Amino acid sequence: MDFPKVSGGNYVIPSLFFAGVFALCIWSSSVSNPFILLSNGRHCSNTKLQNQNNTSNFDSVAPRDELELALARASMANKTVIIAVINKAYASQEPEAVTTMLDVFLDSFWLGEGTQSLVNHLLFVAVDQTAYDRCRFLRLHCYRLVTDGVDFGGEKLYMSEDFIKMMWSRTEFLLEVLRRGYNFIFTDTDVMWLRNPFKKLSSNKTEDLQISTDGFSGNPWSEENNFINTGFYYVRSNNKTISLFQNWYDLKDNSTGKKEQDVLLELIHGGIIAKLGLKVRFLDTLFFSGFCQDSRDPREVTTVHANCCRSIAAKVGDLRTVLYDWKMFRKTNSYNATAGFKWSPHLGCANSWKR
């Protein structure tokens, strides 16, 4: 698959055009070998013309794997995708709510610098039917992750049993994505994308994992002093990262009461990085920030995560304020006068811990 490199103001027409060609690919790939077609986009339309009349052939072919199809649709040319997991509580409005986390998340791509076209590479993994329906309604890339016997629809309060189950189910899914050879940015939907993160992430192929932190120690290689946050990271698919995710997931049943993030932190402190020969970069909150530690410079900030926060309503409220701050920053174009810039306090989140 070969999407054009799109940037600047001109991306709409080419991407629509290619989306059209790609739609033909998908249609025809269910007729013949999908993998051959995927490797060469231009092949697709021919194949379609040859096959479009042959309904008997169409019906007799086993359906193509949904996950592969979803990944291929969202992928960049270099097998890189952006993955976000959504459930009903994030995607659908409660009667008293004015918006959803999903809407605020998408707003950030619209308002960010150089982030609009990244939505083309964003795959939403829906853990319940409502989230999936909403995703489809918004014409996004959507994949329905089915986990037996668990309803992931409601709001999961931090550290509740279902919260932890949902976390493990996503780790299992991401392991599968790596096994299929896709690199990805994993992002929680309570992360605002204010700038294109690929510009601040290292493109050095030797760096297997680049992961955000709640608090950055100043040393991107220090395993001891950086508090990782699994709400945003970039991982390359290779044997080492597959093995890391496998080791991580294997601890699922031996980690009662711990969330997967803490289990990964323990693995790191237990020396897994050296054992597997991984190169892991801990990301500076100057660029990849959050409510635990604000970015100190709006000229550099790339993402803002509503970490150190307990409820969805508090996150949504405080993230809308972040977007407001961001819009004001861009409007006044105060690139020189950043001394005057301050993030509004995250009051909703600060109060969310009180019971």
Ligand X SMILES: *[C@@H]1O[C@H](CO)[C@@H](O)[C@H](O)[C@H]1NC(C)=O
Q: Contact positions toward ligand X, by CB under 6 A?
A: 53-54, 56-57, 76, 78, 80, 183, 198, 203-204, 206, 236, 238-239, 254, 336
Q: CB nearer to ligand X: give 133 or 300.
A: 300
DSSP-derived secondary structure for 67-112: HHHHHHHH--TTSEEEEEEE-HHHHS--TT-S--HHHHHHHHHHHS
Q: At what angle do helices 101-111 and 312-332 cross, to 10 degrees?
A: 20
Cβ atoms of 315 and 309 closer than 8 Å:
yes
Picking from 1, 78, 76, the residue whose alpha carbon sits closest to that of residue 40 is 1
Q: Bridge partners of 211?
A: 233, 282
Cα dihedral value 30, 35, 37, 38, nearest 10: 110
Q: CB nearer to ligand X: give 215 or 220.
A: 220
Q: CB nearer to ligand X: give 129 or 239.
A: 239
In the complex, minimum distance from the CB of residue 236 to ligand X, in angstroms, rounded to a whole number: 5
Q: CB nearer to ligand X: give 118 or 304.
A: 118
The span from the first CA to the last CA of the chain, in angstroms, equals: 51
In the complex, minimum distance from the CB of residue 256 to ligand X, in angstroms, rounded to a whole number: 9
In the complex, minimum distance from the CB of residue 90 to ligand X, in angstroms, rounded to a whole number: 26
In the complex, minimum distance from the CB of residue 54 to ligand X, in angstroms, rounded to a whole number: 4
Cβ atoms of 221 and 121 closer than 8 Å:
no
Q: CB nearer to ligand X: give 147 or 238.
A: 238
| 31 CB-near residues (< 8 Å, 6+ apart) | 47, 48, 51, 54, 57, 58, 61
In the complex, minimum distance from the CB of residue 183 to ligand X, in angstroms, rounded to a whole number: 4
In the complex, minimum distance from the CB of residue 23 to ligand X, in angstroms, rounded to a whole number: 18
Q: CB nearer to ligand X: give 217 or 247.
A: 247
Q: CB nearer to ligand X: give 15 or 130.
A: 15
Cβ atoms of 174 and 248 closer than 8 Å:
no
Question: Quick one: residue 101, left, alpha or beta (phi over 0 = left, psi -120 to 50 = alpha)?
Answer: alpha
Q: Is the dihedral of CA 300, 301, 303, 308 positive or negative?
A: positive
In the complex, minimum distance from the CB of residue 61 to ligand X, in angstroms, rounded to a whole number: 8
